Structure 1
């Protein structure tokens, strides 16, 4: 199968064979071979050859290409949403929302590029600030948002004048293929965007290639490995967007039903497979907290997971694979063996399907809570005695992506906002809510201070400061220099 796009031509892979499976029924959705190291090198050469012409195109022309890409996405929206649903297991309502986000990203990226990477002239007319593309950059995409998240790197990179090597997750190659076909239909010149399918070997070959930058979205462990691989190469830009062990702190509030809904959407939307999902719920000791947990467990028990195209539409679908489902079941058992108390057991709902029910486990009694991101519908509960202890528990993580507070007190949020170690801090909103018109990223093991979304333009180009004059004249005289 011709599954790679190199220099405008589709070709078969020469590397390891792999396949993409429907996580609900294990049906083969995509079958092919990964790109070999030689094919990665070919793609780098193609991108390098295309760079000069692409970078020299007027910005208005580059904008026209990405706007045609957005139009193609609109025309292919339902086919792309179906592919996302089949390959990730997320319900169609959510897959359609992802496609809409992909379309909207184009206009947002154009505005961001103008604001953050446009040209500026000083008041004296001789100083100028402009931005230049890096050259050839790699984009490594995740499986949870296989269209939207790589798109958030690719669109601003192409707008800035870079040429891109795109390696999607090996779990979602079909979505990537359809997306790149839309770029082709938009008329993007050969070599500007190259698609390299594959797993770890392809990713390692790409990171080791002669590229100018790499933009990664995925796990903290893989991001750390890339950081080590780039050690001693300061000339290469690395932008890491990784996960989090995100806390959601709840105080006694009047509208407890609303608090329950925010918690459920924070923890279990996308089957818990958003990097901003709440992993730890901090609940006050005492009667109010007991009642909150009772209502939370009761409501979570009624959540109906289902197939991506099931009617009526389910709240959440599968996790990405049977392997991921089994890992989450093992994590739950491990936490129980450590002293955790299951309030609602995560269970596999169908044999041979990666379809899980939500799990809630009280881990307050654990002496040493593992500081890990469990990527799925498993919520850990920790009880606290006072607000200062709750903030300390929230910050007791090496990650720093997202943190949230449910509270009727503006004073408490002001304190929480300042003291939280996170790049996203929400108040009385689902933790999974984020705006594309704001930066997106975290600190600690969640990122390397290169947030994406509205700030993606920052790492897609570098600033150039210029002093200039249209008319040549001698500079002011300085002592000791003969004129």
Structure 2
């Protein structure tokens, strides 16, 4: 509710980083509604130039932005810097994508007429952002939305509001009208008020499957509004017929434990050939034991920091114990190395043969392991999920990859690469509980504007040759 104070604390230290009173969805939507038409009326070249100024502002403030992002999320400084660089790169990528996917063009038409394809903005779009990539992921919606001529109300996660506020300040500093990029600070109540507001023309969401499904139900009676859902994954990484087990272990660690496992594309399930299981676990355990886990600015740089807060750490610890009580065999126990802070060591658990499988997104450094005896069984195991975001195969044989690609259910299918680290220059999305067939990244242009086809002629010339009585 308006008047509630939102406080952001550093996960690594518990120190208060930022505080502000929550906002009013009605006010923010009204301001955006009053501003978007003028923004949309500007030529595309004007909006492109404005967004390039935004990229330059972020570039100038990159060090401060990186520091704030690292402190608020707990992610290592190197990873926060990479996220800020992605924000900058998003502008040029979006300009190219807009031209390719939603540009103006002429289409062949009968004599004396022309057929024109152009695109119009929806109007006022709400953006709900997550805490794991609090600037990169919402920015992936905001930049193409603004480029198309929409106004945006951005509600960041209540766990990372400072990073969201910094991002919006950069837009305003670049001269993009304040009414066209609004910040709504708040928690779940403000998010619900924004999502259900009658004066928004659509919602662009990144977050959990449960929230996305609730939004899908809410919008089911509102076909006039665009809804783009970017949700989570229970992503498999399959290891088969590879002689380089160290490289396989590196790919597994990168997939499962980058960002402390807090990526929608993180590997949640390792499916491995029974014959490779023992030697692979040796390599994997050795590599995990070498990982540096620490605060963002530590020297030497850590591989991973804490999860977002103690509530998340408690939930993950309880989830690991629940897997044990279901019959899972611990390979590497999850631990809390710093009392009172949400640091977690990676947990490995063998769930082979457990009768009741848990098809949920455990958003942290927990990797479940499944041993199988045939490649066909591996694919069946990999597909045994309601989600369908990313999947990766580690194998030498191209024929196995062809078989894997053809049969796996996922929007991102990789070979000898991690499950995560998707490029902004390609579409990003999944099937099942991972999205609603509105892929983001390069394809975000598709849901930020709608096509308008026009049959046109310079003069009104028409005749009727059938169905008329003689004059």
Give the TM interval when normalised to the shorter protein: over 0.9
User: Does structure 2 conserve the Cα–Cα contact (< 8 Å) formed by 1:241 and 1:448?
Assistant: yes
Indicate the residue corresponding to 2:369 in structure 1: 381
Q: Secondary structure at the match of 2:467?
A: coil
Residue 32 (structure 1) shift: 2.2
1:132 aligns with 2:120: yes
CA distance in 1, matches of 2:345, 2:2: 39
User: Does structure 1 conserve the Cα–Cα contact (< 8 Å) formed by 2:7 and 2:18?
Assistant: yes
What per-residue deviation string (whole Å, max 9, x for no partner) do you get for residues 253-285 of structure 1?
Answer: 121111111111011111101110000000111
Q: Secondary structure at the match of 1:349?
A: coil
CA distance in 2, matches of 1:410, 1:247: 19
Indicate the residue corresponding to 1:270 in structure 2: 259
CA distance in 2, matches of 1:47, 1:394: 44
Indicate the residue corresponding to 2:42 in structure 1: 57
2:67 to 79, 82, 104: 82
Indicate the residue corresponding to 1:97 in structure 2: 82
Indicate the residue corresponding to 1:472 in structure 2: 460
1:45 aligns with 2:23: no
User: Does structure 2 conserve the Cα–Cα contact (< 8 Å) formed by 1:91 and 1:307?
Assistant: yes
User: Does structure 1 conserve the Cα–Cα contact (< 8 Å) formed by 2:69 and 2:80?
Assistant: yes
Indicate the residue corresponding to 1:29 in structure 2: 17
CA distance in 1, matches of 2:215, 2:267: 26
User: Does structure 2 conserve the Cα–Cα contact (< 8 Å) formed by 1:301 and 1:358?
Assistant: no
What per-residue deviation string (whole Å, max 9, x for no partner) do you get for residues 375-409 of structure 1?
Answer: 11111100001011110000000000011100101
User: Does structure 1 conserve the Cα–Cα contact (< 8 Å) formed by 2:6 and 2:185?
Assistant: no
Residue 123 (structure 1) shift: 3.1
- TM-score where L is the length of structure 1: 0.95
Query: 5+ residue gaps in structure 1?
Result: 1-12
Residue 345 (structure 1) shift: 1.0
Question: For residues 194-213 of structure 1, what are the structure 2 equivalents within 5 Å?
Answer: 194-209=182-197, 210-213=199-202
Question: For residues 169-248 of structure 1, what are the structure 2 equivalents within 5 Å?
Answer: 169-209=157-197, 210-248=199-237
CA distance in 2, matches of 1:268, 1:221: 23
User: Does structure 2 conserve the Cα–Cα contact (< 8 Å) formed by 1:24 and 1:352?
Assistant: no
- TM-score where L is the length of structure 2: 0.97
User: Does structure 2 conserve the Cα–Cα contact (< 8 Å) formed by 1:108 and 1:436?
Assistant: yes
1:157 aligns with 2:131: no
CA distance in 2, matches of 1:388, 1:412: 10
Query: 5+ residue gaps in structure 2?
Result: none
CA RMSD after TM alignment? 1.3
1:250 aligns with 2:239: yes
1:466–1:381: structure 2 CA closer, same or farther, 3 Å change rule? same
CA distance in 1, matches of 2:278, 2:458: 74
Q: Secondary structure at the match of 1:304?
A: coil
Runs of 4+ in structure 1 over 6 Å off: none
User: Does structure 1 conserve the Cα–Cα contact (< 8 Å) formed by 2:11 and 2:306?
Assistant: yes
Question: For residues 450-465 of structure 1, what are the structure 2 equivalents within 5 Å?
Answer: 450-465=438-453
User: Does structure 1 conserve the Cα–Cα contact (< 8 Å) formed by 2:235 and 2:269?
Assistant: yes
CA distance in 2, matches of 1:86, 1:223: 28
Deviates more, 1:471-480 or 1:216-225: 471-480
1:478–1:137: structure 2 CA closer, same or farther, 3 Å change rule? farther
